[in-house]
Amino acid sequence: MYQFDIAAGSKADLYRDLLAALDALTADERDPIANMANAAALVWEYLPDLNWAGFYRMVEGELVLGPFQGKVACIRIPVGKGVCGAAAATLTTQLVEDVHAFPGHIACDAASRSELVVPVTKDGVLVAVLDLDSPEPARFDAEDAAGCAALAALLGERLRG
């Protein structure tokens, strides 16, 4: 159905191509769950060294599991708890090189060693967090955080319905 030419070059090229692909996937779709599902699949397919990629949606004051790729996951996360909860509480990206050193880390998958969580907002209101886990320590860097923030910003604009 969709085939994307995702660069195998620099990380900047990779995120530029992922953003263009996400733009194409979500441009005409109104359903937020469908858009999150395709975003999770896109990230899972093209970002290396992940063991989980997906979303937790803000539902009635707590984070609730949304579309994802990877092993089964925790279903509900209180705001302020764990890496996802910290991102939700502060509306700031959480880049964690060693999840075992993060106070209150929630271990949904014991194989996860590092994590990147990016808030997804619409009109300044949190609607979800994009959560990426890796079995590699320090897998994520500032370039990953910036690239995923761009993906989250585009997705936030597309969440309607």
Q: Are residues 143 and 10 in contact, defined by beta-carbon separation less than 8 angstroms?
A: no
What pLDDT score does 134 carry?
Answer: 96
- The one-letter code for the residue type at 114 is S
Give the relative orientation of helices 142-158 and 11-26 as an angle to the nearest 10 degrees: 10
What pLDDT score does 7 carry?
Answer: 64
Q: Which pTM value belongs to this model?
A: 0.93
Six token digits for residue 91: 């509306």
* Residues 38-88 pLDDT 10s: 999 999 999 999 999 999 999 999 999 999 999 999 999 999 999 999 999
* Residues 143-153 pLDDT 10s: 999 999 999 99
Smallest Cα–Cα separation from 112: which of 143, 85, 149, 74? 74
